[in-house]
A and B are shown apart, each in its own frame.
Chain A
């Protein structure tokens, strides 16, 4: 198993550009989520999904879109990048509820918006 994979590892964008961060897992996990990590602030939940076709907003959803067409993939889209979106982004998945099942995190994507 590859676990949770994320691409790209690094990305530099100009303000206003769009891009998609990719996340995939091969563990047949129902639950997937996206976090951003900023210095001194821990991780904050952006969006999450409890299964294919179902998504919902987390703590900081503005400026980001998600979709979940398959169990394996959960891409995160930035429609018009802003410097405030400079961060490290982590995707995570778990078989069931995080209170009972371990969340597995990907290695992260470091995004810089100029």
Chain B
């Protein structure tokens, strides 16, 4: 079945450091890929998404490129801020069929940014 694997955390960085959170997936066909963010005490929010190979999703300084050849969707940000401290989830949605809503999530990566 479909699966998503994220780099193990937690990740601790200093402010203005470069961030990479790795995400790889296993799925048939051409899934859509997502990054969600969960701030302390809140629900998940969509951060960015990509629906086909080579698409780049971007939002709030974060970027991720859909790489079908390496089945990856790594999250990057050039300069993190304390306010980026949160849990980040990679997720995929299978393509087509009766696959509504069956998002498959990775286990989440806790990011802590220190001043």
Task: Name A's B-contacting residues (CB within 8 A).
Answer: 4, 31, 33, 40-45, 48, 50, 58-59, 90, 92, 94, 97-100, 102-103, 105-108
List, sorted by A's number, 30 A–B pairs whose CB atoms are closer than 8 Å.
A31-B100, A31-B101, A42-B4, A42-B106, A42-B107, A42-B108, A43-B44, A43-B91, A44-B105, A45-B102, A48-B101, A50-B101, A58-B102, A59-B102, A90-B43, A92-B43, A94-B101, A97-B100, A98-B32, A98-B93, A98-B100, A98-B103, A99-B93, A99-B95, A102-B46, A103-B101, A105-B44, A106-B43, A108-B42, A108-B43
A103 to B46 alpha-carbon distance, docked (Å):
7
Query: Given contacts A42-B4, A43-B89, is CB(A105)–CB(B45) below 8 Å?
Result: yes
Who on chain B is nearest to A105 by CB?
A: B43
Tell me the minimal C-beta distance from B44 to chain A in angstroms: 4
A71 to B108 alpha-carbon distance, docked (Å):
31
A101 to B51 alpha-carbon distance, docked (Å):
11
Question: Given the complex, which residues of B lie within 8 Å of A108, measured CB to CB?
Answer: 42-43
Question: Given the complex, which residues of A lie within 8 Å of B106, measured CB to CB?
Answer: 42
One digit per residue, 1 when the CB lies within 8 angstroms of any chain A CB and 0 when it does not, for chain B 43-56 equals 11110000100000
A94 to B41 alpha-carbon distance, docked (Å):
21
Tell me the minimal C-beta distance from A101 to chain B in angstroms: 10
Which residues of B, 57-115, contact A by the 8 Å Cβ criterion? 89, 91, 93, 95, 100-103, 105-108
Question: Given the complex, which residues of A lie within 8 Å of B95, measured CB to CB?
Answer: 99
Question: Given the complex, which residues of A lie within 8 Å of B102, measured CB to CB?
Answer: 45, 48, 58-59
**Contact A40 B43, beta carbon cutoff 8 Å:** no
Question: Given the complex, which residues of A lie within 8 Å of B108, measured CB to CB?
Answer: 40, 42
Who on chain B is nearest to A50 by CB?
A: B100
Question: Given the complex, which residues of A lie within 8 Å of B51, measured CB to CB?
Answer: 99-100
